[in-house]
Amino acid sequence: MDSQAYDNELAGEVSRFYADPLGFVLFAYDWSNDPALRVVKLPEPWCLIYNSEYGPDKWACELLERIGAQVREHKFDGRNPVAAIREAIVSGHGIGKSAITAWLVNWIMSTRPQAHGTVTATTSDQLSSKTWAEIAKWTKRCITGHWFDVNTGRGNMTMRHKRHPESWYCNAQTCKEENSEAFAGQHAVDSTSFYIFDEASGVPDAIKEVAEGGLTDGEPMMFAFGNGTQATGWFRECFRNQRHRWNTQHVDSREVQITNKLFLNDLIEDYGVDSDFVKVRVRGMFPSLSVKQYISEADADAGFKRHLSTAQYGFAPKILTCDPAWEGDDELVIGLRQGLRFDVLETMPKNDNDMIVVGKLARYEDEKGVDAVFIDGGFGTGIVSGGKTLGRNWQLVWASSESPDEGCLNMRAFMLQSVRNWLKSGGSYGDQALHDEMLAPEIVPRMDGKLQIEAKKDMKRRGVPSPNRLDALGLSFAYPVAPKQSASPWSEEGADNSESREYDPLATN
C-alpha cells in the first residue's frame, strides 16, 4: 500500500472519532507497546470498553467523554454555527495538564479539516519548554503525526497540515496583554476554531475577551486548565459567576495516579489541609486570598450573605457617597452607608453633565435624611460646585491626600483598610458587582511597610475593571461623621434620643 492509499484509509479510520476524543486518544497512541506510555492504568469502566490496560487517568477520561457528548449533542453540520464547548479544569500540581492539551490538539487537528487553533500559557518559557514541547512530543507519537509539520522554535511555534498549511493550523501565542490582537480574527466557519489556555489563572482577562471573538461561528471550543493561583480574574469566574457558561472540574492531585503521594502528604502536614497553599497546590481549589489580594474572599462572602436587623445599624449616621466616572467604560456610583449596612443606590455610565448628578444627590440627601455627602475629588469638583449653588455642603475626598492612619500611604489605602475592617466587624451589602470588586485590588509591597494599593490604571492593565462601587463604599470612611439629629431604631416607639455624638465608622455596636 502506497503512502497516499495508507493516509486515505487512516483518514477514514480517524473520522470515526470525530465525536469521540477518548476513543481517539486510545486509538492514536501506542499504549500497549510504547514503554513511555505504560504508566497510568486505564480505570474502569473505560479499560473494559476500550480493551486497553493503559491510558488516560480518571479525570481525563471524564473530560474527554464530556467533550464528546457535547459534540454529539450539537450536531454541527459544517454550515450552521453551534454553541461553543467551554471546559475549565482547576487542579493541584502534577496531574498531566500539558498532556491533555496535546491530546486535544491532536484530536481536533486530526478529525477536523481546516481547523484553526491557538494555544497559550502564562509565560513564554512555560509555553515553549512545557506546553508546546508536550504538543510536539505527543504529535510525534500520534498515528497522524506525519500529517503535520510542528515547529518548536521560539517566536514561531506552529503546527500546520503539510498539504494545507495556510488553512489547517494551530499556533502558540504568548499571553502578554499587548499581544491580545494576536488572538483576534480566528474563525473557522466550516470547521472548528479552538483556544487552549494552559496555566489559565495567569492569562489576562483582555486576552480571553479577545479570544471570545473566535467562538462566533463553526464548531468553536475553548479549554482552560490551571492551578487556582488567583482568587480573581476570568478563570476564577468560570467556576463562579460564569459557571452557567462553562463545564467545570476540580482535580485533587492526591486522586491522580502519577503524583507523588508522600510529597503531597508532607505539604498537608506542613501547611494544613485548609491552607491556601494546599488548596492551590494539592486540592485543586482557589485560594481564599491570593498572594497580593487585600480583601479575602471569605470576608467578602460573609458581608455579602449577612443579614442585619435595623437595630444593628439604624442608630448610625447616614453617609451618601458618589464616585464619578468620566472615561472609558467606568460607571458613576452613588451609595449610602449607615453603620454596618451599605447599599448601591444608583449607577450611571460615565457622564459629562454634573448638574444631572447634582440633582440626583440632592434628592437622595433629602429623601434619606443624610448626615454627610462625600464625593471623590478625581472628577467630583464640578459636582461639589454645583451642589453649592443649591446650598449643599458636600465634601470632596482626594484619594491621594494624607491618610489619618500613619500605616497607610494615602487616603485611598486608608479607605480600603477601613472597608476591610468594616467587613470583619460585621458589614453587610447585597450587590454582586461590589462583591467581585472587593476581591480585585492588590497590595504594592513597600520597604517602609506602609499599606499601598495598586493604582486603578494598573488594575486595568491586568484586565480588572475600575472598582467604582468599592470606591463608593470606601468614601464613606474618609472622615468622621456626627449625626445631624441622632436617631434610634426604637424612635418609632416614641423614645427620645436627641443627643448628638461623634460616630466611629468602624464601631461594631
User: If DSSP states are collapsed to H, E and C, what string results for 414-476?
Assistant: HHHHHHHHHHHCCCECCCHHHHHHHCCCEECCCCCCCECECCHHHHHHCCCCCCHHHHHHHHC
Whether the model clears a pTM of 0.85, i.e. scores above it, the answer is no
Query: Is the same domain home to 278 and 176?
Result: yes
- The CATH number of the domain where 209 resides is what? 3.40.50.300
Query: Is the same domain home to 260 and 345?
Result: no
Query: Is the same domain home to 279 and 252?
Result: yes
**Domain end among 253, 283, 313:** 283
Query: Is the same domain home to 214 and 90?
Result: yes
Residue 509 domain-assigned (yes or no): no
Query: Is the same domain home to 25 and 127?
Result: yes
C-alpha cell at 134: 508536550
DSSP state for residue 493 in the 8-state scheme: G
Query: Is the same domain home to 195 and 330?
Result: no
pLDDT of 178 reads: 65
Query: Is the same domain home to 384 and 432?
Result: yes
Query: Is the same domain home to 89 and 214?
Result: yes
The residue segments making up the domain with residue 360 are 298-493
User: What does each of the 509 residues of the chain score in pLDDT, given as a tens digit?
Assistant: 678 899 999 999 999 999 999 999 999 999 999 999 999 999 999 999 999 999 999 999 999 999 999 999 999 999 999 999 999 999 999 999 999 999 999 999 999 999 999 999 988 888 999 999 999 999 999 999 999 999 998 778 999 999 999 999 999 998 876 677 778 889 999 999 999 999 999 898 889 999 999 899 999 999 999 999 887 789 988 998 788 899 999 999 999 999 999 999 999 999 999 888 999 999 999 887 666 788 988 899 999 989 999 999 999 999 999 999 876 678 899 999 999 999 999 999 877 789 999 999 999 999 999 999 999 998 899 999 999 999 999 999 999 999 999 999 999 999 999 999 999 999 999 998 899 889 888 899 889 999 999 988 888 776 677 899 999 999 999 999 988 865 444 444 333 443 433 434 444 43
Residue 28 domain-assigned (yes or no): yes
pLDDT of 106 reads: 98
Query: Is the same domain home to 139 and 24?
Result: yes
Query: Is the same domain home to 129 and 27?
Result: yes
Query: Is the same domain home to 21 and 150?
Result: yes
Q: How many domains does the chain have?
A: 2
Residue 227 domain-assigned (yes or no): yes
pLDDT of 483 reads: 86
CA distance 381 to 361: 14
**Domain end among 258, 283, 308:** 283
Query: Is the same domain home to 443 and 373?
Result: yes
Residue 86 domain-assigned (yes or no): yes
